[in-house]
Structure 1
Amino acid sequence: MKSFVRWTAIGSLVGGALLTSFLGTGLKALALPEDQVVKTLQTVPVFAIADDKGIPLVAVGQDNKKVAGIFISQQDAQNFYQKLQKDQPDVASKVKIQTVSLAQVYKLQNTQKQPDGLMISYVPSPAEVEGAKQVLTASGEEYKGGVPLFVAKAGKEGGYLTINQNNQEIIPFFFEKSVLNEMVERFKKEKPDLASTVKIDVVPLESVIATLQQSNDEALTRIMLVPSEEAIRFARQSAPSTPQPAQNRPTTQPSPKK
């Protein structure tokens, strides 16, 4: 899993963006093209403990299942690596923290479907798990595991709130609750008549990936996964020093769709 992705415009997406209109949520039971799934996942940096060839560190679990941990937070990966250095210095000397795209992990997982294949275990940020529990508890629901993503809905029909990027309505799913909260507050000020209808939902990353694979709803092509600021910052620092394309920041503010 060699890291070659250049992390660019997504980091500036949320700074001046406004949640504006909303889309429906109906889904059809057909799969998106594989390249569209990969495109959606490509912009998300995650963190693996791997050797110089990109082969991830594997733990052997129950029934001799081989499991590779993929960290959503670089700090969590760093904490794990430091513990590994202390407990198993010989193993730690052969691996390091590597930044890879979620699309690369997805492709790897798709090549490991045999019974004895490698399993991927996503390690969520504890802070975001706590945030997810708070949101779910407030609505009478329960956190059932997985990597939480946060998405906003509004309006009588509870459509997904969107942002405008390159004249397209994009549905942002956030790995970081605080960033979505900031955008929601801006939306409420801009659209006070809709403020009372705004709701934040929690959706597991694993469920989003499964839905991308199983549904061809046009709205799914508008999903953008927005990584945490920490993940973007570390990914940029670890990326090769190459010229970056111009960053696009959504600026327009269309009226909510009826």
Structure 2
Amino acid sequence: MKKLLRSWSVGGLATLVLTGVGLLAPLSAEALPEDQIVDKLQQVPVFLILNSEGQPLTAAASADAAEVKVPVVFLDGETAQEFLEQAQQEDANAQVALVDLGTLFQETQSQETGPAPVMYFPEEDELTAAATIQDDFRGVPLFFARRGEDGPYLTITQDGVSSLPMFFSRQDLQTLITRYTQENPGEARAIAIEVLSLEWLLAAMATSDDPQLDEQLQRIRLFPSSEVLQYLRSQQQEQSTRPATSSQR
């Protein structure tokens, strides 16, 4: 597979100054094995903007009191398309590249100069939803639920395996909660929604030395936004109809 992040030059498409986004700094230690981390992440689609040379869009970020230029990773395709329109003013051949989060994680960990930082650009509505749960929330939100403020986490069971679901979409979590409370009406008022950042989760997976936390991390299952999946389906349908449309002309 072509290395999407083979170049980290600051001479990419453009350099942006962004706020309210999460920077994932290099990770060196390892708690969960990399293959387990990748397995959890590979179902999550993310988007990059690449120029004609395959270099990613970069943004200015602060790390260890120094300003660095890091690749921008978008969590939804529509936002990536908006930035693409700006990028194409400088490079007409710029394009949006789709990659799964697991592959991206592997790429950033395997750079010759060491693990490379990236900046995640959250979906605006989800960031707003996260701020209603946790003031001044920063990063890419992951929503999950528990029964009561200090109660057990709301889990799902599939093929006999219990997992802790975390959602990139607040509404997708609500769908799960609604189904749960319909089956357990007496617990409707006891459900509490919490949020943590993707950046924190990735760091914890890679560096935690807490056995209790590691056990919880093992159980986490990430669910990409249903809107993002619908966007991908619509893009695939559009691409599949283009040859037929052009052949009719």
Specify if TM > 0.5.
yes
How far apart, in 2, do the equivalents of 1:106 and 1:44 lie? 11
Structure 2 stretches lacking a partner, 5+ long: 5-28, 240-249
Paired residue secondary structure (1:65)? strand
Q: Report the CA distance shift for 1:61/1:148 in structure 2 as closer, same or farther (over 3 A).
A: closer
The answer to whether the 8 A contact 1:48-1:71 is kept is yes
| Matched AA of 1:195 | A
Paired residue secondary structure (1:94)? coil
| Structure 1 residue 223, shift from structure 2 partner | 1.2
| Matched AA of 1:108 | E
Q: Report the CA distance shift for 1:61/1:145 in structure 2 as closer, same or farther (over 3 A).
A: closer
Cα deviations by residue, 1:80-130 (Å, 9 ceiling, x for unpaired)? 111223xxx242x23201110111221222234858x85311000110011
| Structure 1 residue 51, shift from structure 2 partner | 4.1
Which residue of 2 is the match for residue 95 of structure 1?
Answer: 94
Task: Report the number of matched residues.
Answer: 207
More RCO (CA 8 Å, sep 6+): 1
Paired residue secondary structure (2:202)? helix
How far apart, in 2, do the equivalents of 1:157 and 1:61 lie? 36
| Structure 1 residue 65, shift from structure 2 partner | 2.1
**Percent of pairs identical after alignment?**
35
Of 132, 145, 148, 1:152 maps to: 145
TM-score between both structures, scaled by the size of structure 1: 0.70
Which residue of 1 is the match for residue 215 of structure 2?
Answer: 218
Of 218, 229, 232, 2:229 maps to: 232
* 1:44-55 aligned within 5 A: 44-51=44-51, 54-55=54-55
Which residue of 2 is the match for residue 165 of structure 1?
Answer: 158
TM-score between both structures, scaled by the size of structure 2: 0.72
Which residue of 2 is the match for residue 12 of structure 1?
Answer: none
Which residue of 1 is the match for residue 38 of structure 2?
Answer: 38
Paired residue secondary structure (2:31)? coil
| Matched AA of 2:142 | L
| Structure 1 residue 189, shift from structure 2 partner | 1.9
The answer to whether the 8 A contact 1:71-1:123 is kept is yes
How far apart, in 2, do the equivalents of 1:197 and 1:214 lie? 33
* 1:36-185 aligned within 5 A: 36-51=36-51, 54-59=54-59, 65-85=68-88, 89-91=89-91, 93-112=92-111, 114=113, 118-136=116-134, 142-155=135-148, 157-185=150-178
